[in-house]
Amino acid sequence: MRQSDTLWSDKWSSIRFTPRLQDFSGAVRKLSEAKKFQLFGTDNEPGSSIWLASFSEAMGDSFREGMSVLDYGSGAGRYAQFLRQRLQRFEYYGLEKSGSNFQHGEKSIKAGRKLFRWDRRIRFDMIGSRLEAKAIANASVVVLGSVFTHVDYDEMKTILSKFKPIVARDGKVIFSIFLADAYRIENRGIYGIERCYNRVWFTADQIQGLCDEFGWQLTAKESFLAQNENMHHIFSITRV
């Protein structure tokens, strides 16, 4: 999705609610300066919301009042803010990875908890926590925004296998990847994590083969161009 698309201007750009914390980007930057944690991606508008709208559009009719969302790799909760502006009833579970040498995940979770501390619809914790188990038991949709663009094939398979119960009950997994003619990994150590890479390109056959192995339906949905060079291909996974 692009800013010039009617899908953005006519549908997703509309904000129904104006909850507290209207300037999410400013609040995150202020926290990052005060707490000395690093920022990744961009929270600037309208780019951030167009990115999140691309994932939301890929959900189809699963994006609705009462939805339950697992945001795997949530950062400080950009998608939580997007939901608050467009839905009244939802559950949001934001998860981050621990183990960074500068505690990126831990600091992101602390930031999200602080920024949304008054909103009971929104919860944050680490991957492997009780909240992750609760999210897998309850979520109807999983969102992985630019997670598989930074992990290798084995890690992607491990992560996706967690979501088998969600797909089995007719839930959806929405994710972005970089596609190329050959599997390729570029540099390691982003986010301060050894097995996290600057960029990873997968082949279409790799992704389709993994879904075939799990007995899932893979569907190409949206695309989003980031940093004027990184084309994110957005897919949905559903039960066959």
What pLDDT was estimated at residue 35?
67
Answer yes or no: is pLDDT of 34 > 90. Answer: no
Summarize pLDDT for 135-160 with one digit per residue, the tens: 999 999 999 999 999 999 999 999 99
Residue 84, pLDDT score: 96
CATH topology of domain 36-239: Rossmann fold (3.40.50)
Res 190 pLDDT > 90: no
Produce one character per residue of 165-181: b if its CB has 16 or more CB atoms within 10 Å, e if not.
ebbeeebbbbbbbbbee
Tally of CB atoms within 10 A around 24? 22
Map out the domains of the chain as residue ranges.
36-239
Q: Is it the case that residue 115 has pLDDT exceeding 80?
A: yes
pLDDT-above-90 percentage for the chain: 78
Q: Answer yes or no: is pLDDT of 237 > 90.
A: yes
Question: At 32, phi and psi to the nearest 5?
Answer: -65, -35
Write the DSSP assignment of 122-174 as a string of letters.
EEEEETTSHHHHHHHHH-SEEEETTSTTSS-HHHHHHHHHTTHHHHHTT-EEE
Mean per-residue pLDDT for 111-121?
A: 94
Q: What is the mean pLDDT of residues 221-229?
A: 90
Across residues 217-236, what is the average pLDDT? 94
Instruction: Assess whether pLDDT exceeds 70 at residue 38.
Output: no
Residue 91 has pLDDT above 90, yes or no: yes
pLDDT value at residue 33 = 81
Q: How confident is the model at residue 87 (pLDDT cuts 50, 70, 90)?
A: very high
pTM for the predicted model, two decimal places = 0.95
Band of residue 120 on the pLDDT scale cut at 50, 70, 90: very high
**Predicted pLDDT at 32:** 79
pLDDT band, residue 161 (cuts 50/70/90)? very high
The 3-state DSSP class for residue 189 equals: coil
